Amino acid sequence: MSRRAGLLRKVAAVTESGSVRLLQQELPSVEPGMVLVDVRASLVSPGTELGGWRGLSERRRQGGDPDKAKPFGYSNAGVVRETGAEVERFREGDRVACIGYGYALHTDLAVVPQNLCVPLPPSVDYARGSYGMLMATALHSLRRCEPVLGENVAIVGLGLVGQLTAQFHRLAGNFVIGWGRHDMRVDIAKRWGIDQAINVKQDDAVRRTLSFTREQGLDAAVLAFGGPAGQSYEDLCRCMKKTPDGHLMGRIVIVGGARMEMAWIPANFDVRIAARTGPGYHDDQWERGADYPPVVVPWTTNSNLGLCMRLLEERRVDVDCLTTHRIPLESVEEEVDGLLDNPEEVLGVVFTNGGRDEAS
């Protein structure tokens, strides 16, 4: 059934002036294949949603129209309040993790397609569950990389997606070195157990990486950041394995919107794009309940997301160490503004709503 017209919800929105405001807007109707979720936590994806914390801080310094505000967010967790027609896998009261641009907003009430939701295990709290979108993005990048046990892998960029991608490669049995640009993020990677992490502004990344691989070179690398990546790409090329005839080999996966010019070099390595969270995302019919044949597409966005929740349940992935700030949704206007004074000290920011989670 559909929600009655006129019911309002609270939604966080980012302004042209670099601030975050809490708006009221009409709640979308709960159409067939959709679920209404009482949101308890949502995770900020700063690079995609805000242009980075530093970018938001710069926007604040430059000024802009504070009245032009756009709702944001695409990863949250909460409790099902209502289901639309043709929804059979969820019912009122179910705990769920949800994703989806334009759906899983930073809000108190979200209307989300059922295939962009998965059950949230009892032992996983809402804050951890809100990492679903970025976890599934990192997991899909691992699948695109096709790692083999025992390979040497570099993760370039230690933001949220980079940290999660590095954790997945460790789970896959690889030896992982992380390249970051901020001591805080390097320290966080060391805290959860990365094999090695370096600050490329202070260390010789090429020398340290070749030493890390015992002079064998990298089998694979992941560019996990947005913006210009020419220097990082050149440095990675100097770190890749080399055949006796002088050709570079291996795989480089782009998961963060990195941009670079690729001139011809003697190489036989692959450059791969890992877009989104897996098959199904942005297919409207699939999102609302249609499915792909599992024998053809075993890992969809939904199955990737479900696996992420299991990995959280079994404590195989650590997201707690990535969360640097928790902010009540009601306080986002004041507290986000305070974060921008020291953007390099911010990593995972979770907006909370509805009190303490019962999960441990």
Q: Boundaries of CATH 3.40.50.720 in the chain?
A: 135-273
Residue 101 has pLDDT above 70, yes or no: yes
Calculate mean pLDDT across residues 306-313: 98
Q: Which of 232, 251, 272, 229 is nearest to 152 (CA)?
A: 251
Burial (0-12, 13-18, 19+ Cβ within 10 Å), 360: exposed
In this predicted structure, the answer to whether residue 114 has a pLDDT above a threshold of 80 is yes
* CATH assignment, 8-131+282-352: 3.90.180.10
- What's the mean per-residue pLDDT of the chain? 93
Q: pLDDT band at residue 60, thresholds of 50, 70 and 90?
A: confident
- Segment 99-114 shows an average pLDDT of 97
d(CA 171, CA 162): 14
Q: What is the pLDDT of residues 253-297, one digit of tens each?
A: 999 889 999 888 999 999 999 988 999 999 999 999 999 999 899
What is the rounded distance in angstroms from the CA atom of residue 323 to the CA atom of residue 132? 14
- To the question of domain 135-273 being in CATH 3.30.70.330, the answer is no
Delimit the CATH 3.90.180.10 region(s) of the chain.
8-131+282-352
Residues 203-221 have pLDDT tens digits of 999 999 999 999 999 999 9
In this prediction, residues 223-240 reach a mean pLDDT of: 96
Which pLDDT does position 305 carry in this prediction?
A: 98
Q: Tell me what pLDDT residue 298 has.
A: 92
